[in-house]
């Protein structure tokens, strides 16, 4: 089975940097995804990690450590539109994508 | 490129009634998924199709939920009879192959309220 743990909510100021953590336990591992979900909307893809290390994509970066079962998503230069839920999802050995509950980020002026 | 289409967007029914949701995936995508997302939680996979065959339905409550993907394109998800705890957003997603780095593209979802 798969178990994914994320903190539930955080507040940050516009222009700041915020780190969203995700720890997981899984039978087999075929990659970790981060999705962004605005209230009332569908999730949209942000990043994918399958090897250890940091993947950078503009203002967003994602890090993976497979040995620790740990990932984080780093959001830089926060903007008001970044207020959303950030979902960590792990693709296990059965190729099923299991999502965490999401971390609600609230950006304030 | 057109995205994943779903209908209806909203549905309100009473418990014990039946309801059906429709999904049209991105053209050419072999893999189609139905997820259930309860308020405050992440999406939970109900069923995954590869073309018109079922790959994973281990989390589908088969006594009341059913899904089909005839001709390997559109799909319908049915609940019969509905229970209060079925109130959720039902998301359809599709991806080219369902493997590796394959990104899943989500539709807007159907918000179901069971009274």
pLDDT per residue over B43-56, tens digit each?
A: 999 999 998 899 99
Residue B23 Cα to chain centre, angstroms: 7
Q: Is the peptide bond before B54 cis (omega within 30 degrees of 0)?
A: no
Query: Mean pLDDT over all residues of chain A?
Result: 92
Q: Is A87 at the interface with chain B, CB within 8 A?
A: yes
Query: pLDDT value at position A104?
Result: 93
Contact between chains at A87 and B48 (C-beta distance less than 8 A) = no
Residues with Cβ within 8 Å of residue B49, at least 6 apart in sequence: B31, B32, B33, B55, B67, B69, B72, B75
- Any idea which residue has 């999705």 for tokens? A35
A92 touching chain B per CB within 8 A: no
d(CA A21, CA A103): 9
Q: What is the pLDDT of residues A46-56, one digit of tens each?
A: 999 999 999 99
For residue range A58-69, what is the model confidence (pLDDT) as tens digits? 999 999 999 999
CA distance A103 to A82: 12
Rounded CA separation A107/A86 (Å): 13
The overall average pLDDT reported for chain B is 93
Contacts of B105 in chain A (CB under 8 A): 45
* pLDDT tops 80 at residue B1: no
Distance from CA of A86 to the nearest CA of B (A): 10
**Residue pLDDT, tens place only, A69-80:** 999 999 999 999
CB contact under 8 A, B98 and A31: no
* Minimal Cβ distance to A31: which of B33, B98, B100: B100
């Amino acid at each position: 089975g798969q178990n994914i743990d994320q903190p539930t909510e955080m507040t940050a100021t516009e222009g700041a940097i915020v780190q969203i953590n995700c720890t997981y336990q899984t039978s087999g591992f075929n990659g970790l995804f981060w999705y962004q979900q605005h209230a009332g909307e569908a999730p949209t893809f942000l990043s994918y990690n399958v090897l250890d290390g940091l993947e950078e994509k503009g203002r967003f970066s994602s890090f993976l450590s497979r040995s620790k079962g740990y990932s984080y998503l780093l959001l830089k230069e926060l903007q008001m539109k970044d207020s959303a839920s950030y979902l960590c999802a792990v693709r296990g050995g059965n190729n099923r994508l299991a999502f965490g509950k999401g971390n609600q980020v609230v950006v304030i002026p | 490129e057109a995205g994943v289409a779903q209908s209806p967007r909203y549905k309100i029914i009473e418990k014990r009634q039946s309801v059906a949701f429709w999904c049209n995936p991105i053209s050419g995508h072999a893999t189609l998924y139905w997820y259930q997302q309860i308020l405050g939680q992440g999406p939970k996979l109900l069923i995954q199709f590869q073309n018109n065959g079922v790959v994973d339905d281990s989390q589908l409550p088969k006594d009341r939920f059913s899904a089909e993907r005839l001709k390997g394109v559109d799909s319908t998800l049915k609940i019969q009879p509905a229970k209060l705890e079925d109130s959720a957003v039902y998301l359809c997603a599709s991806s080219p192959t369902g493997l590796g780095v394959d990104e899943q593209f989500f539709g807007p979802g159907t918000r179901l309220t069971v009274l």
